A and B are shown apart, each in its own frame.
Chain A
Amino acid sequence: MHPAPSVIIFTTFSGLGFGLLFWLGIDATAPTGWVAFVFFAIAYLMAVGGLVASTFHLGHPERAIKAFSQWRSSWLSREGIAAVFTLLIMALYGAGLVFFGAQWSPLGWLGALGALATVFTTSMIYTQLKTVPRWHHWTTPALFLALSLGGGALLSGRVTVALVLLLVAAAVQIAAWYFGDTRLKASGTSLASATGLGGIGEVRAFEPPHTGTNYLLKEFVHVVGRKHATQLRLITLLLAFAVPIAILLLGVNHITALLAVVSHIAGVLCLRWLFFAQAEHVVGLYYGKR
């Protein structure tokens, strides 16, 4: 799949933003006043910034309001509703903490649930696609949730929780790579099944339907970036998990905490780039490509 910057930024920052909103929502002793303002500002910048970035890949963003209508069948529609619901509820909850010094806990719990639902529905947009066998697997929602909650814990300064969740997220990511590398083959979809000609003999793409490129090849067949996948996986593990975990273990102050957060974000950006660049869409088979 084409690793579009808009969706990489969207999944990375929205995941972190909603993760932070989750922890703010369930915090029994939530911050108030200016401290709360800073936490909520960071969470909203990330969550809303990510959502805005995601509209950049729309052909007609001016019609985006229509995307809230099809929640019965569409995970993308459900995600939009969950995101807006969460942002509205948490805005009320945040206003209570910032301006009134009052913690309206039930609102926080509802918002936390909404944040989880948003991240889960985002992950299901990818998980539902049978056409991308690497994504069509339980590791996709598990990874999105673990990263969001782990990153959110890191942002909200929960050392022990962040430590545990980042370890979990790293384990899930390694599992996702391990299973993911054989998913296309295991899916049973091949050039033979795509053409129905496998019964005659070995099928080979002889000539593409056009001399140039097309939308399908640009969107679904990304080959160039895969060449450095192994190195990028190591960089991901190092930046997203190893560095923040080491900092959390060694003890945190404001400077090292910032370092841990920056390293984690850089690592997750790298991870998401791989998430898209390494995903093979079955339509590539028709072109003799992956």
Chain B
Amino acid sequence: MTTLPTSTDKKLGLVIDLDTCVGCHACVVSCKGWNTENYGAPLSDQNAYSGAASGTFLNRVHSYEVQPADKAAQLIHFPKSCLHCEDAPCVTVCPTGASYKRVEDGIVLVNEKDCIGCGLCAWACPYGARELDAEEKVMKKCTLCVDRIYNTNLPEEDRQPACVRTCPAGARHFGDLGDPDSDVSQLVAERGGFDLMPEQGTKPVNKYLPPRPKDVEPEFDILAPYLEPIATDGKGFVGWLDKALSALPGGAK
């Protein structure tokens, strides 16, 4: 049944640090690499070598410019994948029972053998976490690398989602967000982790850590005043040059 469990034993999920993400897309590549050859149908590409390439990805990195009122603009890289919501609207809309949320760890998965490819779960997801594969015609989504995290054939350090394992900046963290003492829960509490689109009522498990406030640079260089740019009300040669050039036809006044 695609009704949601009232509670799950664990709430496995990701914590993504928007302060440290450098926007390298390594998580995108490692995710596609792992998931195209493991759990379920492969992640196909269409016209991969043409100008109109597209393909299925379970994780994508957006970049946003944020302009504070009185400071310099910030560029923030923003990885986005399934948030494994507690109140996952994608699960309840599924007519076949293909979509489900696991009681043991809260991971939201698709049983691809039951998926009719109607796309309604992707319609119900506010985050764009689900993509219908154009080749296999079934719904693909982040599995939280369910085939890695419990996989005893892998060395212990590899038993975490591919995106977390590969992140060179340490911007991605994996753990049980239902346990208040876990490392990820501590990190969220410490850094003020937040939900995406809380008004949608999905109660996402994945949390995002905000960029840290920018430092205000102190005046540390005693020579700086001497390096100030040439004054606009130039005197002497510069002043003469300014006037002479302005006097030319079409010259800037």
Task: Please report A residues at the B interface, Cβ cutoff 8 Å.
Answer: 1, 57-61, 63-64, 66-70, 72-77, 80, 125, 128-132, 187-189, 191, 193-197, 199-216, 219-220, 281-283, 286-287
Contact = CB atoms under 8 A, between A and B. Distances in A.
Nearest to B74: A200
A220 B119 contact: no
A127 to B, nearest CB: 12
A220 B129 CA distance: 13
B93 interface: yes
Given A59-B116, A286-B128, A206 B95 contact: no
A213 B92 CA distance: 28
29 contacts: A58-B116, A58-B117, A59-B136, A60-B117, A61-B116, A66-B114, A66-B116, A70-B95, A73-B4, A76-B95, A131-B125, A188-B199, A189-B199, A195-B78, A196-B208, A197-B210, A201-B66, A201-B67, A201-B71, A201-B73, A202-B67, A203-B65, A205-B62, A209-B62, A210-B54, A212-B53, A215-B56, A216-B128, A281-B123
B224 to A, nearest CB: 27
Contacts of A202: 66-67
Contact of A73 (B1, B118, B197, B208): B1
Contact of A205 (B64, B69, B117, B208): B64
A77 B98 CA distance: 12
B137 A214 contact: no
Nearest to B202: A130
B1 A70 contact: yes
B40 interface: no
A1 B124 CA distance: 12
Nearest to B117: A59
Nearest to B214: A200
B89 A59 contact: no
B64 A197 contact: yes
B68 A201 contact: yes
The 9 closest A-B CB pairs, nearest first, are A59-B117, A59-B137, A209-B60, A201-B68, A77-B95, A67-B95, A66-B96, A283-B128, A207-B63
Instruction: Tell me which of B61, B123, B128 has the highest count of chain A C-beta atoms within 10 A of its own C-beta.
Output: B128
A131 B3 contact: no
Interface in B162-177: none
B126 A283 contact: yes
B53 A63 contact: no
A47 B67 CA distance: 53
Majority SS at the chain B contact face: loop
Contacts of B127: 283, 286
Nearest to B209: A196
A288 to B, nearest CB: 9
B68 A194 contact: no
Contacts of B200: 130-131, 189, 282
A76 to B, nearest CB: 4
Contacts of B132: 59, 215, 219
Contact of A187 (B118, B124, B199): B199
B86 interface: no
B186 to A, nearest CB: 20
Given A74-B94, A201-B66, A286 B114 contact: no
Nearest to B134: A215
A204 B128 contact: no
Contact of A193 (B4, B69, B117, B199): B199
Contact of B66 (A194, A197, A216): A197
A189 B193 CA distance: 19
A188 B201 CA distance: 12
Interface in B1-43: 1-4, 18, 25, 28
B234 interface: no
B187 interface: no
B122 interface: yes
A76 B118 contact: yes
A219 B119 CA distance: 9
A191 B62 CA distance: 12
B96 A63 contact: yes
A60 B137 contact: yes
Contacts of A216: 122, 128, 131
Contact of B57 (A1, A68, A193, A214): A214
Contacts of A75: 93
Instruction: Tell me which of A209, A210, A282 has the highest count of chain B C-beta atoms within 10 A of its own C-beta.
Output: A209
B199 A76 contact: no
Contacts of B71: 201
